[in-house]
Structures are given as structure tokens and as C-alpha cells.
Structure 1
Amino acid sequence: MKKDRGKVWLGVAGVVINSEGKWLVVKKKYSGLKGVWSLPAGFVNDGETADEAVVREVKEETGIDCEVSGLVGFRSGVIREEISDNMAIFYCRPIYDIQSISIQERELSEVAWLTVEELVNGGESSVMLREMASHELKEHQLFKKEGINPGEVFEYSAYKLFFNK
């Protein structure tokens, strides 16, 4: 069942890089990303923060447990002049050095750890992935800060800041 997301979308993607410097990438079975390497990604659900959503999406799509350490970038666009399509792109680390990949077969055809060279020169990467892999990513573009209370008046149940130190 397709969920009605309205006309403002918030998605997340994870740049998960292992100790060998390889990126965790997926091939979708549908949409404009069908058959090309892209980042594990999905939408933020009700009641979760964007960084919680990316950890969930990476686990659901690939079976890899990861943790967020920073925000790499933000993609924003408008689809057919009506839908605001936004994506927070997080830097993530695998929690364990050795983990088995498990493919979410409903959505994905492949999952792999690939080098930057393979992503840039292999000819099968999405435009966004190829562009990101072509530039040196710093581990932390924006750092995560938790444990901040902006005031009870706002009634936040979760609150995190991502900023440049």
C-alpha cells in the first residue's frame, strides 16, 4: 500500500563507509533508480527523527547496523512543480566490523560494498552517488549534538542539532 506523503517529502540517505573505505550501496527494483547503485534511503516516518530514520532504513534494506555521526549534505528539489522533495544525507559508520548483508528483496536487487573508484568509474551509479563519491567527503560535515532541551514549551519528545564545530 502506497502511503500518502502529501506535497512535502522528507527522505534520508546513509553514506555508510566501512573500515576499508568502501561504501554500502544498493540497487532498487523500481523508480528512476532501478538498476543503478544508490545509497540506502527512505522516508522519515511519523514519530521518528531523521537520523533515527536513516539507521532504520539502512538496517531494513541491507541488514547492516550503523550509527550516525554527522550530516554530510542535504538534497532538495521540486517534482513536477508541485512536490517538495527533500533528503537529509547522513554519514554513518557500521557498528560492527563484520556483518552479513541481507537484501530487502521486495525493494532491492543487489547490495554491495564498493570502492569510490568503482562508484565513480563503474558506470552504474546514480547521478547523486557519483557526484558525492567524486568529492572527498569529510567524515563530519556537520556534527550531531544530543541532550539539548530547547524548553518545555515546545514539547519536543526528541531534539538534536547538526552544526559545524
Structure 2
Amino acid sequence: MERLIAWIWHGLRGSLQWRVLWMAHAKFMVGVTGIVRDDEKRVLLLRHRMWSETSPWGLPTGFAAKGEDFASTVIREVKEETGLDVRAGRLVRLTSGFQLRVEVAYEAVLVGGTLSVDPFEILEARWFTPDDLPEGLQDSHRLLILGESAAAI
């Protein structure tokens, strides 16, 4: 059955494939990032299993569910990936991303919970000071942490 579906899919080609996808899915994806800080102003960084081996470190990040408030996405993603509870703060980035992706970033503050990483997605979670960020940190996330413009990338 899978081979038949794949054969049909490949036969549709370009614009017809896009029409099927357009009808079947949300019209865009929203990637949401949380810049989580503790009361010592350290930032929470995660070593992501699914990211590039050369730049696996980054902020808690995930995709918004259909109809989900983006600030709530930050709260949910941080909880799922780390077990920590946060309060979403100020919106610091809203921009178009790759193809049909929108990128959103919020400041967030640690309010509780116990650090316990999701071993499927996350290899390690650590707190870093802004002047001692790890090698292999995503460039766009470094800029968010330092409060610089992501347009510089």
C-alpha cells in the first residue's frame, strides 16, 4: 500500500502536490523559541539530539500546535523538553523563516519545576552565563541571548 501511495504521490508532481498539501495541512508552521533565564540571569541551553552535530546547542524550541497561543507554546515546549515551569514574557522576534515557516521568540523566566530532560529530543540541559556560551550554539540563538538582531545572520 505504501508503494502505491508513493507512486501516486510522485506522479502528481510539483504544483499538484502543493495543492494536496495546502488542503491537508496548516498553511504555515510556526517555530517558537524560549529564551529562558533564571534569577541569576543565566540562560537555559539544550543539546538537541535531532540537530546538527556541529551545532547541537540551542534554546528550547518547538512548533506551535494549531490554534495554540505562541506564549503557551514556549511554556509547553520547555515543560516537555526539560520538566521546568516558565512564564513567557516579552516577544523578541517575529520573522519569516525557511519557506512556509514563521519564527517566534519570547523571553521567559524560570518559575519552578525540576530539571529532567526528555531523552528522545534532548541530550543535555545546562545553565550558561551570556559571556560563557558553549561552542556549537546556533548562531541565531546566540544573537537572541545577547539581545542582538537576528537579521545580522
State the TM-score, normalizing by the size of structure 1.
Answer: 0.68
Q: Distance in 2 between matches of 1:10 and 1:66?
A: 20
Partner of 1:56: 76
Contact 1:70 1:90 in 2 (8 A): yes
Residues 79-118 of structure 1 deviation map (CA, whole Å, 9 limit, x = unaligned): xxxx32211100111113xx42110100111111111012
Confirm or deny: 8 A CA contact 2:35 2:145 kept in the other structure.
Answer: no
Residue 114 (structure 2) pairs with residue 100 (structure 1): yes
Unaligned runs of 5+ in 1: 138-165
Give the equivalent residue in structure 2 for 1:112: 126
Higher helix share: 2
CA contact (8 A) 1:27 1:34 kept: no
Q: The residue matched to 1:116 in structure 2 has which SS?
A: coil
Aligned-pair identity (%): 29
Q: TM-score, normalised by structure 2?
A: 0.72
Structure 1 position 74, deviation (Å): 2.1
SS at match of 2:39: coil
Q: Mean alpha-carbon deviation: is it higher for 99-108 or for 58-67?
A: 99-108
Greater C-alpha radius of gyration = 2
Aligned 8 A contact 2:55 2:138 in 1: no
1-structure distance, mates of 2:84, 2:25? 27
Question: The residue matched to 2:132 in structure 1 has which SS?
Answer: helix
Find the residue that maps to 2:32 and give its secondary structure.
strand
- 8 Å Cα contact 1:58-1:65 kept in structure 2: yes
Q: Compared with structure 1, are the counterparts of its residues 34 and 48 closer, same or farther at alpha carbon in structure 2 (3 Å cutoff)?
A: farther
Number of positions where the alignment pairs a residue of Structure 1 with one of Structure 2: 126
- State how far apart, in whole Å, the 2-side matches of 1:33 and 1:133 are: 21
8 Å contact from structure 1 (residues 33, 126) kept in 2: no
Match of 2:12 in 1: none
Residue matched to 1:37: 57
Structure 2 unaligned regions, length at least 5: 1-23
Q: 1:132 is matched by which residue type in structure 2?
A: L
